[in-house]
């Protein structure tokens, strides 16, 4: 049953930073907590059936201490307003060691879940989890720093379940460059793919690993679009026309995603939702609906999904955490989205794009 007790479709979400939150806080995934945004009890309450679990490698020297208050959970990631403050790209050895630690924590969740949570490696497993009430975890890299240019680490991480790679976070690496957190600003903030980045796109295509275009510069976006053989996907970004953050997508980018029959996941971070870009949790759920409306009007209901950034960003207070997800679905239903539309937005479009990108 891909439906919850509320009658709403089950949600499969395009982005969370829950692994990092579990490590930082030491909390269990299986006990209800007031810290962070996602654990299994809150997921069940909110009709969250799973999602993309990001492996994000902090820059060396960033504190592992948990944030003082859960409304600012993204303090563990250094936020760069200006490329001039960017650190040198991290070493492959550091990135791989850190990725292994995060990956191990995710696999521990699966191992200790007693069958309640599973790392999904193909579309059939994803669908089975959603149908069978097993929490579905998709292993995603938010930044390709742990991958070597020769593709050896890709094989190893693929074997462990890696099925989605965002080439950069909001910084520079050997493959490409991400957008800094400036506001207001266009996403056209720097160069695109390096030669190693172009080779990475070919390797990911060959392996059927999804490429995520959230965070990359606009030039990087177009470079990937010209090279890739898969539909274009931005797992957690919004409409630049409504919120002029470089993390959001211009109309031209949205049109290219539509033409490729790709998907954009709505990011719940208030700074990417609000017109003023402020990190102000007093942001109504209606603003999330406005971004969904805009993207659906521009791309059609088959190209829009959810990419919450739970455990990695400042959520609207009205939504709060995973348990609050039905409030968003209710607002979309009240706005006039049909049951079939809601199914697509909640999980159907992710299932479609992943089946197409991963292959049978
Ligand atoms: Zn992100």
The CATH number linked to 222 is 3.20.20.140
Å from CA of 268 to ligand 1 middle: 11
Nearest alpha-carbon partner for 216 in 182, 248, 169: 169
Residue 65 or 169, more confident: 169
Rounded alpha-carbon distances, angstroms, from residue 151 to 83, 99, 154, 171: 28, 16, 5, 21
What is the pLDDT, as a whole number, of residue 3?
73
DSSP 274: S
Give the model confidence (pLDDT) of 106-139 as tens digits. 999 999 999 999 999 999 999 999 999 999 999 9
Is position 4 within any domain? no
State mean pLDDT over 208-216: 98
Å from CA of 215 to ligand 1 middle: 7
Is position 57 within any domain? yes
Å from CA of 341 to ligand 1 middle: 26
Å from CA of 357 to ligand 1 middle: 21
Is position 1 within any domain? no
Mean pLDDT (the chain) is: 93
What is the pLDDT, as a whole number, of residue 80?
63
Q: How far apart are CA 32 and CA 224, in angstroms?
A: 40
**Residue 81's pLDDT band (cuts 50, 70, 90):** low
Give the model confidence (pLDDT) of 244-282 as tens digits. 999 999 999 999 999 999 999 999 999 999 999 999 999
**Residue 62's pLDDT band (cuts 50, 70, 90):** low
Is position 85 within any domain? yes
State mean pLDDT over 297-301: 98
Is position 75 within any domain? yes
**Residue 70's pLDDT band (cuts 50, 70, 90):** very low
**Residue 360's pLDDT band (cuts 50, 70, 90):** low
Is position 232 within any domain? yes
Å from CA of 236 to ligand 1 middle: 7
Å from CA of 1 to ligand 1 middle: 30
pTM (2 d.p.): 0.95
Residue pair 10/346 in contact by the 8 Å Cβ criterion: yes
Å from CA of 79 to ligand 1 middle: 11
Q: Count of domains in the chain?
A: 1
Is pLDDT at 358 greater than 80 in this prediction? yes
Å from CA of 274 to ligand 1 middle: 17
* Residues near 237 by beta carbon (within 8 Å), at least 6 away in sequence: 213, 214, 247, 248, 249, 264, 265, 267, 272, 307
State mean pLDDT over 84-111: 93
What is the pLDDT, as a whole number, of residue 78?
58
Strand 162-166 versus strand 117-119 pairing type: unpaired
**Residue 77's pLDDT band (cuts 50, 70, 90):** low
Å from CA of 106 to ligand 1 middle: 18
Q: Which domain holds residue 248?
A: 11-358
Is pLDDT at 1 greater than 70 in this prediction? no
Å from CA of 8 to ligand 1 middle: 27
Å from CA of 308 to ligand 1 middle: 10
Å from CA of 75 to ligand 1 middle: 13
Is pLDDT at 71 greater than 50 in this prediction? no
State mean pLDDT over 33-39: 97
Is position 255 within any domain? yes
Å from CA of 7 to ligand 1 middle: 30
Residue pair 316/309 in contact by the 8 Å Cβ criterion: no
What is the pLDDT, as a whole number, of residue 182?
87
Å from CA of 118 to ligand 1 middle: 23
Å from CA of 169 to ligand 1 middle: 6
Give the model confidence (pLDDT) of 334-346 as tens digits. 999 999 999 999 9
What is the pLDDT, as a whole number, of residue 89?
84
Handedness of CA 323, 115, 50, 271 (dihedral sign): positive
What is the pLDDT, as a whole number, of residue 19?
98
State mean pLDDT over 218-241: 98
Å from CA of 74 to ligand 1 middle: 10
Å from CA of 114 to ligand 1 middle: 30
Is position 43 within any domain? yes
Å from CA of 309 to ligand 1 middle: 7
Å from CA of 166 to ligand 1 middle: 9
**Residue 6's pLDDT band (cuts 50, 70, 90):** confident
């Amino acid at each position: 049953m891909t439906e919850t007790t509320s009658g709403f479709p089950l949600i499969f979400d395009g982005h969370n930073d829950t692994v990092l939150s579990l490590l930082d806080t030491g909390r269990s995934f299986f006990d209800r907590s007031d810290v962070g945004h996602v654990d299994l009890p809150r997921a069940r309450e909110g009709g969250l059936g799973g999602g993309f679990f990001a492996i994000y490698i902090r820059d060396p020297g960033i504190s592992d201490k948990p944030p003082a208050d859960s409304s600012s959970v993204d303090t563990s990631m250094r936020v760069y307003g200006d490329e001039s403050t960017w650190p040198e790209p991290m070493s492959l050895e550091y990135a791989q060691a850190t990725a292994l630690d995060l990956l191990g924590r995710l696999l521990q969740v699966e191992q200790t879940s007693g069958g309640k949570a599973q790392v999904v490696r193909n579309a059939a497993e994803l669908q089975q989890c959603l149908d069978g009430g097993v929490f579905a975890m998709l292993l995603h890299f938010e930044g390709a720093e742990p991958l070597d240019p020769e593709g050896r680490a890709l094989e190893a991480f693929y074997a462990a379940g890696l099925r989605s790679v965002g080439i950069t976070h909001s910084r520079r690496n050997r493959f490409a460059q991400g957008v800094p957190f400036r506001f207001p600003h266009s996403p056209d903030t720097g160069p695109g793919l390096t030669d190693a980045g172009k080779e990475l796109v070919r390797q990911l295509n060959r392996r059927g690993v999804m490429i995520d275009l959230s965070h990359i510069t606009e030039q990087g976006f177009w470079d990937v679009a010209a090279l890739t053989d898969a539909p274009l996907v931005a797992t957690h970004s919004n409409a630049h026309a409504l919120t002029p953050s470089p993390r959001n997508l211009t109309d031209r980018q949205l049109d290219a995603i539509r033409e490729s029959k790709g998907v954009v996941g709505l990011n719940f971070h208030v700074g990417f939702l609000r017109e003023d870009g402020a990190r102000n949790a007093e942001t109504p759920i209606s603003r999330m609906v406005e971004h969904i409306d805009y993207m659906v009007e521009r791309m059609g209901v088959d190209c829009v999904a959810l990419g919450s950034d739970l455990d990695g960003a400042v959520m609207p207070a009205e939504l709060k955490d995973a348990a609050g997800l039905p409030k968003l679905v209710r607002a979309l239903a009240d706005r006039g989205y049909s049951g079939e539309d809601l199914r697509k937005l909640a999980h159907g479009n992710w299932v479609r794009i992943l089946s197409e990108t991963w292959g049978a």
